[in-house]
Amino acid sequence: MGRRRKGLKIDGVVLLDKPVGLSSNAALQKVRRALNAQKAGHTGTLDPLASGLLPLCFGDATKFSADLLHAEKEYETTIRFGVKTTTGDAEGEVVSEREPTFDYQTFSEVLENFRGEIEQVPPMYSALKKDGVPLYKLARKGEEIERKPRKVVISTLDVLDFNPPEATLVVRCSKGTYIRVLGEDIGEALGCGAHLKSLRRTAVGDLRISESVTLADFEAMSEEERLKVLLLPDRLLSTLVRIDLDEAQTERFSHGGKVFVDESGPEEKVRVYGIRPDGERFLMGVGRLESNQELIPERLCAFAAE
């Protein structure tokens, strides 16, 4: 007798407003259980001490979750100046204290140095690995290893509130940016040190926190209401150029065949929609559009080949 599959086949995206104190995986499992979904994944972790937007993927949507890993992220963060901690946030132990003496003009001038492309040294308290061991595990043992600087891009760095010894900023940044390190580096540039008091993610790509649902509200919903919260999988791909295929192209593409279209690349990732006999459009998956107008399948939804 074969092993019975658990849960329902649910395809879609839940934009969760993750609460402070919960890991990304714990939040995912709570929502998965509430939906009774078979397959689930998230689009990149959000630290337990951070709140905010955590896109959760179910079923076919998990095939496209990696696309959001490369998307810009936006945060609101409050930095506490004058106090450095072991972790760069409020969870760590205090390692030094120094009275902040800067004014708003000096603060603004320092911020200008952190806009655009900058270099960051990844923190020891991170999930990066050395010989297969996460750095945070080494850090907890008191070990520290050399980390190479990485280039990241800070496209937005705006002041929401300035109330020394704290300031609240809006940060929009590229993949791989550590906001904790940004806060610490700004504090070092001001000569007093700093750590993050709070962190909230407000956007991932073009997905916004205003579209999200809290975990408490989601768990309080009926089964029907929870399903209504689900967004279609193509919501993860809304920044990609859309290509619509005709019936013949749909048939060929659904079986992994390349097709020729009116548009051209070069080598541009696109979202591809097919057409059913009744005229209904549906997401087939992601393809690569070449300069010769050739569209090559990369990842197809399971139902695209049915």
- Residues classed as catalytic: 47
Total Cβ atoms within 10 A of residue 68? 21
8 A C-beta contact, residue 259 and residue 249: yes
Show the DSSP H helices in 87-178 as ranges: 104-112, 135-140
Which of 71, 62, 54, 52 has its CA nearest to residue 12? Answer: 62
Q: Provide the token pair at 284.
A: 């087939």
Query: Whose CA is closest to 236, among 14, 5, 76, 3?
Result: 14
Among 281, 288, 294, CA closest to 304: 281
How many of the other CB atoms lie within 10 Å of CB of 29? 13
Q: 37-55 burial, b for 16+ CB within 10 Å, e for fewer? A: bebbbbbbebbbbbbbbbb
- Say whether the peptide bond before residue 297 is cis (omega within 30 degrees of 0): no
Q: Let me know the angle formed at the C-alpha of 84 by 80 and 86, rounded to the nearest 5 degrees.
A: 125
Cα–Cα distance for residue pair 285/59, rounded to 1 Å: 13
Cα 73 from Cα 305, distance rounded (Å): 33
Three-state secondary structure call for residue 72: coil
CB 204 within 8 A of CB 53: yes
